[in-house]
Amino acid sequence: AQYDAYVPGEFGPDSPHHVQGALTLGENIGDLGGLTIGLKAYGIALRREGKTLADAPVIGGYTGVQRVFLSYARVWQEKRRPEVMQTLLAMDPHSPAEFRCNGVVKNVDAFAEAFDVKPGDGLYLAPEERVRIW
């Protein structure tokens, strides 16, 4: 139900054009699982060096966990023409890039903790509303 409410930035908030959650479900789960596994893999790599996520170096003012999420976000930067987006919403099993990023990270506890996301923030999702796949 989360993704059905997402309207791409190419359209206004009252637009009838929105993500079809049933169509994109498999890929949405894959994106959430991939990010979750990537974060766990980073923690495992740090432990091999005798460190924890909290011990990861701060680079450019960002913690290791913050850098994982920032790198993930960079992958999904794109802009599409509205007519292309409308076609993709109707037939592509992938969510638009903005939701492959923002729709995923708002479901990850570590994201909320890393960036101190609070109620009222754009990417806040109450813990009881966050999707858990494992």
pLDDT in tens, the chain (134 residues): 899 999 999 998 899 999 999 999 999 999 999 999 999 999 999 999 999 999 999 999 999 999 999 999 999 999 999 999 999 999 999 999 999 999 999 999 999 999 999 999 999 999 999 999 98
Judge whether 28 lies within some domain. Answer: yes
Range of the domain at 56: 19-129
Judge whether 12 lies within some domain. Answer: no
Closest among 87, 72, 85, 79 to 31, alpha carbons compared: 72
Q: Look at residue 102 in the predicted model and tell me its pLDDT.
A: 98
Judge whether 58 lies within some domain. Answer: yes
- Cα–Cα distances in angstroms (integers) from residue 116 to residues 2, 84, 94, 104, 123, in the given order: 22, 35, 29, 16, 11
Q: Look at residue 134 in the predicted model and tell me its pLDDT.
A: 80
Judge whether 9 lies within some domain. Answer: no
CA 29 to chain centre: 11
Judge whether 69 lies within some domain. Answer: yes
Judge whether 2 lies within some domain. Answer: no
Judge whether 60 lies within some domain. Answer: yes
Count structural domains, the chain. 1
Judge whether 10 lies within some domain. Answer: no
